[in-house]
Amino acid sequence: MEYVKKIAEKISVQSPDFSSCINMVKHDFKITGIDTTVRLHYLKFDGNKKPMVKALADTLYAYIIDYCLSAKNRDETLTTRQSTLLTKEARSLFRHPKVTDESPDKTGEAGETLLYFLMEAVLKAPQIVSKMELKTNHKDEVKGSDGIHARWNSDTEIVDFYFGESKLYMKVSDALTSALKSINDFHDIKMYEHEFSMVTKHFKYADEEVKREISNLFVNGNPGPNVRVNHACLIGYDYNGYEDVFSEPQNKIKEMFELDFLENSSNLVKQLQKKLDGFEKKHLAFDVFFLPFPSVVEFRNAFNEALD
């Protein structure tokens, strides 16, 4: 495992880019009965007391080369011309339709890109397969999970594999229900076997030593003794708390928002606990990112506008 232990060196997302537009809230909420970490995040406010939706969308756009295209297929340091051409290529892989409440975005690409961003910045788990570039038609959906990431866990001394599941809904309960159903189906049809095979066939980096060690972690498409299967879930939803604190003084907004968010999150965790109580596959591990938006439609449109 000599080389896999260094896999964090493959992370593309820079911590300052994450912390420039997203805050993390400390809490003591716990989930029982299944290995689950609850993560509470929210959008920072700009100097005019507006949540930084557009700033986040533009930041995600800055990473579309890293998100969409394998590092092994491009130079480590790009010239301006190469960067322009690769950005054009990456943009062409997105469908980016116009989003409204009456015509919702069925592609989920904004949420999937955001989840990639969170898994690299927060979990320190680099993306190991660029699934977007495997599409044969930009109108196609990416099958399976919403992302494949991995990291070396120095505490357990095993490799944590993360399969992403991104759900952006107006109601948090709908997002949770949809996420757990997708994960349940993912295992019922043994999609993980296909995803593991993708890791060995389409490993993102030109590092044969790491690829070889990762390939040896699997036994006939199944995780071996040095692999733990995790699901990283992004639960995005509409939240009026951003608007509720607009009348507060600038220097009080963060404090007042977090107090309200923490109080609201108690109910979120109760909903999650209830749904996980009825979830049969207790052997899995979860990282659940709760991230409220003033409007998920606004965020999706901001991301699509950045692409355009």
CA distance 182 to 251: 41
pLDDT, average across residues 183-189: 96
| Confidence grade of residue 75 (pLDDT, cut at 50, 70, 90) | confident
Among 165, 125, 181, smallest CA distance to 4 is for 125
pLDDT, average across residues 212-230: 91
Among 232, 241, 106, 235, smallest CA distance to 173 is for 235
Please report the pLDDT score of residue 137 as a whole number: 65
- Give the residue, 221 or 64, on which the prediction is more confident: 64
Look at residue 11 and tell me whether its pLDDT is greater than 70.
yes
- CA 181 to chain centroid: 17
Please report the pLDDT score of residue 77 as a whole number: 80
CA distance 104 to 296: 10
Domain boundaries, position 15: 4-307
pLDDT, average across residues 69-76: 84
Look at residue 104 and tell me whether its pLDDT is greater than 80.
no
| Confidence grade of residue 58 (pLDDT, cut at 50, 70, 90) | very high
Please report the pLDDT score of residue 136 as a whole number: 65
What is the number of structural domains in the chain? 1
Q: Return mean pLDDT, the chain.
A: 92
Look at residue 282 and tell me whether its pLDDT is greater than 80.
yes
30 burial type by CB count under 10 A (0-12 exposed, 13-18 middle, 19+ buried): exposed
CA distance 189 to 241: 39
Please report the pLDDT score of residue 186 as a whole number: 95
- Give the residue, 106 or 42, on which the prediction is more confident: 42
Token duo for residue 39: 């993560």
pLDDT, average across residues 218-247: 94
Q: CB within 8 A of 290, min separation 6: which ones?
A: 38, 39, 40, 41, 172, 235, 237, 265, 268
Pairing of strands 22-25, 35-43: antiparallel
Q: What is the pLDDT of residues 265-276, one digit of tens each?
A: 999 999 999 999
The type of residue at 58 is D
52 HSE (CA, 13 A, CB side): 19
Q: What is the pLDDT of residues 85-103, one digit of tens each?
A: 999 999 999 976 665 665 5
The count of residues in the chain is 308
H helices of the chain, in order, are: 15-19, 53-61, 64-68, 80-91, 109-121, 172-188, 191-201, 208-215, 241-244, 253-277, 296-307
Look at residue 143 and tell me whether its pLDDT is greater than 70.
yes
Please report the pLDDT score of residue 139 as a whole number: 65
DSSP reduced 3-state for 88:
helix
Single pTM value for the model: 0.94
Q: Of 1-5, 66-70, 93-97, 275-279, give the lowest mean pLDDT range.
A: 93-97
Please report the pLDDT score of residue 108 as a whole number: 85
